[in-house]
A = this chain, B = another copy of it.
Amino acid sequence: MDLPLGYLFRDLDDDQLKRIAAVAREIPMEKGQQICREGEEAKELYILKTGAVELMTKVEHDVELPISILRKPGDIFGAGVLVAPYQYALTARCAGKGVLFSIKRSAIQKLMMEDRDLGCIIMTNLAAHFLGRLKESRREIKVHFSTLLRSYS
């Protein structure tokens, strides 16, 4: 099975990629289908093959704030499977019919324990990704802050 190459698997060699592909299974998704929910135990890592997935976070009782839309094959979500306390940080919903690869937490953890080089590469990629999102998020806060500053000056 050929896994599309997203940020998480960058710098892995062919043999390492093969071992990851071997524990992935394909699952179809329908538009509107909820794939995982913010705050729930993270059991699967998801990799987009085709289609689109919207990520969002709950703001109030029934209001959700959209965070991003994934459309590129290889885009990843559910990375909470890689980080204690193993919870999904966002809710994911299918925004365009397609196919996902999913990998069980126990399977990816086993590969990372058996091959620490693979583990180090994946966690380095994940940290870089989270740092990128953190910077984006801080940029957004700065915009709010600047607006506030101007409204008081």
Residues of A within 8 A of B (CB): 57, 59-60, 63, 65, 67, 79-80, 82-84, 89, 112, 116-117, 119-120, 123-124, 126-128, 130-131, 133-135, 137-138, 140-142, 144-146, 149
Q: When chains A and B are docked, how far (Å) is the Cα of A65 from the Cα of B134? A: 15
What are 28 pairs between A and B in contact, CB < 8 Å?
A57-B142, A59-B145, A59-B149, A60-B149, A63-B149, A65-B145, A79-B131, A80-B131, A82-B124, A83-B127, A83-B128, A83-B131, A84-B128, A89-B131, A89-B135, A112-B120, A116-B116, A116-B117, A120-B123, A123-B123, A123-B126, A127-B127, A133-B134, A134-B134, A134-B137, A137-B138, A141-B141, A141-B144
Chain B nearest CB from A32 CB (Å) reads 23
CB-nearest residue of chain B relative to A58?
A: B142
Q: When chains A and B are docked, how far (Å) is the Cα of A43 from the Cα of B102? A: 38
Q: Is the interface of A mostly helix, strand, loop or mixed?
A: helix
Contact check, A57 vs B149: say whether CB atoms are below 8 A apart. no
Q: When chains A and B are docked, how far (Å) is the Cα of A146 from the Cα of B60? A: 8
Chain B nearest CB from A69 CB (Å) reads 16
Q: When chains A and B are docked, how far (Å) is the Cα of A119 from the Cα of B126? A: 13
Q: When chains A and B are docked, how far (Å) is the Cα of A63 from the Cα of B144? A: 14
Chain B residues near A83 (CB-CB < 8 A): 124, 127-128, 131
Partner of A142, one of B65, B124, B138: B65
